[in-house]
Amino acid sequence: MAEKDREESLSLTDTYVQNDQPDGVPPLELTGERTLPDVPEENYWYRRHLAVYEWIAARVEGLRVVDLACGEGYGSFVLAGSAAEVIGVDANPEAFEHARARYSSQTLSFQRGLVESFDEARDAIIFLQTIEHIADPDSLLSGFARVAPVSYISTPNLLTLAPEGADKSDNPWHIKEYRLEEYRALLEPHFSRVEILGLAHAGKLRWHEHALSLGWDHVHEGFGLTKAFYERFTPAVSASDFRLSNHNLESALDFIAVCHV
């Protein structure tokens, strides 16, 4: 799904708030700073993030981990299904209160704080889709290397997020978006080994890509089907409609780096 197609699902003049939250859980408003579950129009981006959390959860079984910039808290909860202990950290007061009220587990807790301030020893750090928000990433990465032997760090691929030839997308929360080699150059000075994987479309999203290559965007616009199609297609996307691999990294949606000290 292209950025253009997201805009077909999300009217920038409308307000989107989480649906059907449990009693006592304050729903969050979609601002573009973080993705949210329970917003049908945002489901593509939520599932795109969830696919990576699920992949990492299988690799941190029995470990003590911290999920930095955990946002709404859904990812921390996924990690808590396999990890021995999970701390979700976020500075935003509304996100922190929501996460603490929404997600309960004996292995999960939440802290409100800046990611730069976390200094408790952990077995693994999870830091997804946030380094592009950081003004001084080198200082932060140096801290990661002191705190944990492995860090899972992801970021969107500039080449597939931004318009062709642009230095950045129009996301106002992003300070710096990275090409593959820029991302590798940022990470490698801080770790002894960095493996980068790419997230790509699979399943129905791969078929959607193929349809776009055949001119589907002109068809749905020409017949006035755009709104009706994406109102059904976007909520139907699942985490299984994404895959991680080390192939064709230049065209990946997101880069997921596994960084060893």
> Where does the pLDDT of residue 50 fall: very low under 50, low under 70, confident under 90, or very high at 90 and above?
very high
Whole-angstrom Cα distance, residue 19 to residue 17?
Answer: 6
Whole-angstrom Cα distance, residue 26 to residue 259?
Answer: 35
- Which pLDDT value is given to residue 10? 53
Whole-angstrom Cα distance, residue 25 to residue 50?
Answer: 21
On whether residue 219 sits in a domain, the answer given is no
Domain count for the chain, please give it.
1
**At residue 12, does pLDDT exceed 60?**
no
Per residue, the 3-state secondary structure of the chain, as one string, reads: CCHHHHHHHCCCCCCCECCCCCCCCCCCECCCCCCCCCCHHHHHHHHHHHHHHHHHHCCCCCCEEEEECCCCCHHHHHHHCCCCEEEEEECCHHHHHHHHHHCCCCCEEEEECCHHHCCCCCCEEEECCCHHHCCCHHHHHHHHHHHCCEEEEEEEEHHHHCCCCCCCCCCCCCCCCECHHHHHHHHHHHCCEEEEEEEEECHHHHHHHHHHHCCHHHHHHHCCCHHHHHHHHHHHCCHHHEEEECCCHHHCCEEEEEEEC
Owner of token pair 């750090």: 125
Mean pLDDT of the chain: 94
Owner of token pair 């699942």: 238
Nearest of 155, 112, 157, 145 to residue 260 by alpha carbon:
145
**At residue 214, does pLDDT exceed 70?**
yes
Quick count: other Cβ atoms within 10 Å of Cβ 112?
15
Provide φ and ψ at 95, rounded to 5°. -65, -40
On whether residue 6 sits in a domain, the answer given is no
- Which pLDDT value is given to residue 11? 53
On whether residue 167 sits in a domain, the answer given is yes
On whether residue 142 sits in a domain, the answer given is yes
Report the predicted TM-score, pTM, of the whole model to 2 decimal places: 0.93
pLDDT digits (tens, 9 = 90+) for 142-185: 999 999 999 999 999 999 999 999 999 999 999 999 999 999 99
On whether residue 213 sits in a domain, the answer given is no
Q: What is the CATH number of the domain that holds 49?
A: 3.40.50.150
On whether residue 89 sits in a domain, the answer given is yes
Token pair recorded at residue 138: 């080198």
On whether residue 209 sits in a domain, the answer given is no
Nearest of 152, 158, 184 to residue 171 by alpha carbon:
158
- Which pLDDT value is given to residue 224? 84
On whether residue 220 sits in a domain, the answer given is no
> Where does the pLDDT of residue 5 fall: very low under 50, low under 70, confident under 90, or very high at 90 and above?
very low
Mean pLDDT of 199-223: 90
Mean pLDDT of 119-138: 98
> Where does the pLDDT of residue 7 fall: very low under 50, low under 70, confident under 90, or very high at 90 and above?
very low
Q: Which domain holds residue 122?
A: 17-202+244-260
The amino acid sitting at 83 is A
